[in-house]
Amino acid sequence: MKRGNRRIHILKAYWRDTWILLRQFRHSLFAFTSLVLLGAFWLKFFYTEKQLDLGEAIYATLMLIFLNPTLDFPQSSLARPAFFFVPIVGVGIFTEAIVRFGILLFAKSYREEEWQRVMASTFRNHTIIAGIGRVGYRVAEELLNAGVEIVALSLADDEESAYLVRKLRDKGVPVIVDDARRNEVLRDAQIEHARCLLICTGNDLTNLEIALAAREVNPNLRIVMRLFSDALAERAQKFLGVQVALSTSAIAAPAMVAAAISQTIAHAFYVGEHLFHVAEINLDENSTLVGLTVGELERRNSISVILIRRQNGDLVHHPSADLTLNPNETLILIGTPEQIASLSYLQ
């Protein structure tokens, strides 16, 4: 999360948290205020040793509450009850409520889980990640690097998950430790205002239950979920309104096969039913591709050059068609397995 955005979220969260605590302690605060005003008016009208204005009377009452009186003990029997009643009742209210209010307001570690919910309530148009394991944490890191604001949900039911939750919180990400299958937990993560939900737990049934709960709360939400079963992934997209359901095996298998076939293949992925390879090809001085332009290479082999890494380390993203290929450069390109194979053979 960007530092400026994080500060804005913290300021908003402090304001909302203060309001929540004021509502929670409103009876105690009202009682304390009433005691101070009652004691002040009592002293103003019945304390005869010295004429007090309202400000002096309020100050004297506060000093009585803190057992540090600034006024002499009165001779008047009407004023004396204030010197006994105000300290006894005031100390009781102050120690039970006011001190606890201050601790809860400024020492967030005493109520960290509630503070995470308050922080999450300040987010809008954000992405929610359900499930902070190895996959969920890696997804969170990539989103943070891309400048996307996120709120995370996790049960943190094992030591590793708890460690990853702590790391995310240290990065300024609100992480609500609760069951994402519950509608109220999703609402705590502001799912009504989110742009996307990423479901990354390691249990297919749990992922489906989270998707159903999320769809119930926000019917228009974009949902991306991780599933181990290819059949479930297909059905989730078809029947649950899930925009993208990624099968772990469907993602891993093409990449493993591609890596086994050729050392030039860096990655593989499907677009619908079509398989594509991402290849990394180093050009030496004897390469037949040296001297060609990017446009010529793309037209001859029906591939797309997405990146050129120069010898000095400079990167050329989406190079123009008239750019000439030089020795000691590295091409990153995308094509079908057949197109990449034929290009590697020519190279």
Q: Which of 106, 128, 157 is the last residue of a domain?
A: 106
* Residues 209 and 272 placed together within one structural domain of the fold: no
* Residues 283 and 309 placed together within one structural domain of the fold: yes
pLDDT, residue 96, reads 65
Q: Give the angle 252-256-260 at the CA atoms, nearest 5°.
A: 175
pTM: 0.61
Ranked by mean pLDDT, the top range of 66-70, 156-160, 189-193, 228-232 is: 189-193
pLDDT in tens, 44-96: 888 888 888 999 999 999 898 888 888 888 888 888 888 988 888 887 777 66
User: Percent of the chain at pLDDT above 90?
Assistant: 33
* Residues 283 and 178 placed together within one structural domain of the fold: no
pLDDT, residue 102, reads 66
E strands present in 168-227: 175-177, 196-199, 222-227
Q: Which residues form the domain of 19?
A: 3-106
pLDDT, residue 224, reads 86
At 306, which amino acid appears? I
pLDDT in tens, 28-48: 778 888 999 999 999 988 888
Q: Which of 203, 224, 247 is the last residue of a domain?
A: 247
**pLDDT band at residue 105, thresholds of 50, 70 and 90?**
low
Q: What's the domain count of the chain?
A: 3
- Cα distances (angstroms) measured from residue 253 to each of 50, 135, 200, 321: 90, 17, 19, 33
Angle between helices 134-145 and 159-170 (to 10 degrees): 10
Q: Would you call 5 exposed, middle or buried from its count of C-beta atoms within 10 A (0-12, 13-18, 19+)? A: middle
In a domain, 253, yes or no: no
**pLDDT band at residue 249, thresholds of 50, 70 and 90?**
low
Q: How many beta carbons lie within 10 A of that of residue 197, not counting itself?
A: 27
* Residues 234 and 294 placed together within one structural domain of the fold: no
